[in-house]
Structure 1
Amino acid sequence: MTLNVIGVFNDAWKLWKRDRELLIGVAGFFLFVPQLALKLFVPLPPNLPDFGEAAKVRAWVDAAESWSSQYSLIVILLWLVTLFGSLAVFTLYLDPDRPEARRALARALWLSPRFLLLTILVALPVQFGLIFLLLPGFYAQGRLLVALPAGVAEQPQGALASISRSLALTRGHGMVLAGMGCLVLLAGDLLSRPFIAMGKMLGGAPMANPVVAGLLDTAAAMGVAVALLGGILIQVALYRRLVSSRGI
């Protein structure tokens, strides 16, 4: 059995075209605003040093501790808002009760603790795979790509059951979904990186323009938000196709 990847992307695009006004409202507030706040108010953590030089390592540790003490709490809060926004979009499409927008937000709030646990459990193998070798991370992302949709659609299923469900639905499509997982993981970085690079160039100029810098940060945040929303719609479309094709 082959997976129609183009069909998945077409399905996601149809969801966007049909519901774009609703999605702009939800994603604008819960996906774009946190990303914009992150760009505007949280500086990047210090770059890793050359670990062959002890003095530079000590200086980096001090700088990293200082950054963490100042910004870690706001980063976590903004991440939780983004997570809630993602869950709200999943709920709009996959909750068994098919709630309208206001009820979807309430349902998302109720599901948040379980969804948070599931998100962490999905992220662990993906991040470990990316740290050691890129391909295992992308493969893990692909095989777990429908764990979050399954967790919403098949309530009251727990986090581990949702992961098992994703592994069952994606069996036989590992390498194809690894490519899709790679796209979902990297799309935000790819869309925002040109604006971030331009912002760094501007920040290093003798007379940096804060208005232009703010516009670049806004564009970068918008790129990340678009990628996040696109990834969610792809996961929704993929889950529906896999369930329909496997009948399980």
Structure 2
Amino acid sequence: MTLNVASVLSDAWAMAKRDRELLIGVGGGLILVPEIAQAMFVTAPPPLPASGSDTVALQAWIEAVTIWSRQNDLLLLGLSLVSVFGALVLFLLYADRDRPHVASALSSAIGLLPRYVLLALSVTFPVNIATLLLLIPGLYLKGRLMPIGPLFVAERPIGVVAAWRRSFALTRGHGLVLLALAAVPLLGGDLLAMPFQMLGTAMDGAPMANPIVAALLDIGVGLGRTLGVIAAILIEVALYRRLSSGT
């Protein structure tokens, strides 16, 4: 089967236009708010050293990251849980066979959250590590796992290992195409947030900088990231529907 990427993107865009109010309500409360809070209250992690062969710089970076993690881990954990819960609610609204209303999706998401968190961790860690080491393998793995969220909901009960196998089975033969597709929402969200981040960095400590301007910039960063997350969810749902139906 040839995967029509244009049709997947078209399906995702159609859902976004049709369900604009739903996405604003659910995404705004459960994804946008945590993203804004993270932009406002969590400092950026220390940047990687310029040279990976400089052991002194690498050790200093590890120590800096350890301190940063101690200062931010509880807040990041709480905000991440809310965002993951929001993503799960959206997957339930779009992929659950019973087509629940928002209230039913919220209720179902509470019971499914522990297993979904385990699934999300099983995807996030290897994808992030692969991306840090080499970008292309990370995006390839992300692409092969793109249907895993909606299939976890649509084909439940299903375990983590079975979900991985099912996702790889659905995406067999489409690895390179999905590598590129995985980059669309990821880079799109970062690109939307980047101007606000750059402006905030340029204004940091400047006489004209003030709390209101800083808050507006943080809101811009959070909004850009949120759009990327919601775009990823809709693309994953559209992709799963086409792969599972063979169209």
TM bucket normalised to smaller: over 0.9
Cα deviation digits, residues 184-243 of structure 1 (max 9, x gap): 332221110111000000114244232112111101100000110111001001100111
| Aligned counterpart, 1:151 | 152
**1:138–1:178 contact (8 Å) kept in structure 2:** yes
The offset of 1:61, in angstroms, is: 5.2
CA–CA distance in structure 1, aligned partners of residues 165 and 127 of structure 2:
15
Q: Secondary structure at the match of 1:10?
A: helix
**1:50–1:57 contact (8 Å) kept in structure 2:** no
Listed as ranges, the matches of 1:227-246 within 5 Å are 227-245=228-246
CA–CA distance in structure 2, aligned partners of residues 4 and 48 of structure 1:
38
**1:94–1:153 contact (8 Å) kept in structure 2:** yes
Unpaired runs of at least 5, structure 1: none
| Aligned counterpart, 1:209 | 210
The offset of 1:126, in angstroms, is: 1.6
Residue identity over aligned pairs, in percent, reads 49
The offset of 1:48, in angstroms, is: 3.8
| Aligned counterpart, 2:38 | 38
Aligned CA distance change for structure 1 residues 49 and 5 (closer, same or farther; 3 Å): closer
Aligned CA distance change for structure 1 residues 242 and 57 (closer, same or farther; 3 Å): closer
The offset of 1:181, in angstroms, is: 1.0
The answer to which of 57-66 and 171-180 deviates more is 57-66
**Alignment size in residue pairs:** 245
| Aligned counterpart, 2:5 | 5
**1:202–1:209 contact (8 Å) kept in structure 2:** no
- When normalised by structure 1's length, the TM-score is 0.92
| Aligned counterpart, 2:100 | 99
| Aligned counterpart, 2:123 | 122
CA–CA distance in structure 1, aligned partners of residues 244 and 166 of structure 2:
10
Aligned CA distance change for structure 1 residues 65 and 125 (closer, same or farther; 3 Å): closer
- When normalised by structure 2's length, the TM-score is 0.92
**1:195–1:216 contact (8 Å) kept in structure 2:** yes
| Aligned counterpart, 2:89 | 88
Aligned CA distance change for structure 1 residues 108 and 207 (closer, same or farther; 3 Å): same
CA–CA distance in structure 2, aligned partners of residues 96 and 164 of structure 1:
21
The answer to which of 210-219 and 32-41 deviates more is 210-219
Aligned residue identity for 2:183: C
| Aligned counterpart, 1:17 | 17
Q: CA RMSD in A?
A: 1.8
Aligned residue identity for 2:45: P
Aligned CA distance change for structure 1 residues 180 and 41 (closer, same or farther; 3 Å): same
Aligned CA distance change for structure 1 residues 80 and 180 (closer, same or farther; 3 Å): same
Unpaired runs of at least 5, structure 2: none
The offset of 1:68, in angstroms, is: 2.2
Cα deviation digits, residues 145-182 of structure 1 (max 9, x gap): 10111101101111111111111111111100000112
CA–CA distance in structure 2, aligned partners of residues 245 and 41 of structure 1:
45
| Aligned counterpart, 2:47 | 47
Cα deviation digits, residues 33-64 of structure 1 (max 9, x gap): 0000011111112334567484x667655544
The answer to which of 44-53 and 110-119 deviates more is 44-53
Q: Secondary structure at the match of 2:173?
A: coil
Aligned residue identity for 1:44: A
Q: Secondary structure at the match of 2:100?
A: coil
Q: Secondary structure at the match of 2:239?
A: helix
Aligned CA distance change for structure 1 residues 53 and 11 (closer, same or farther; 3 Å): closer
Q: Which has the higher contact order (CA 8 A, sep 6+)?
A: 2
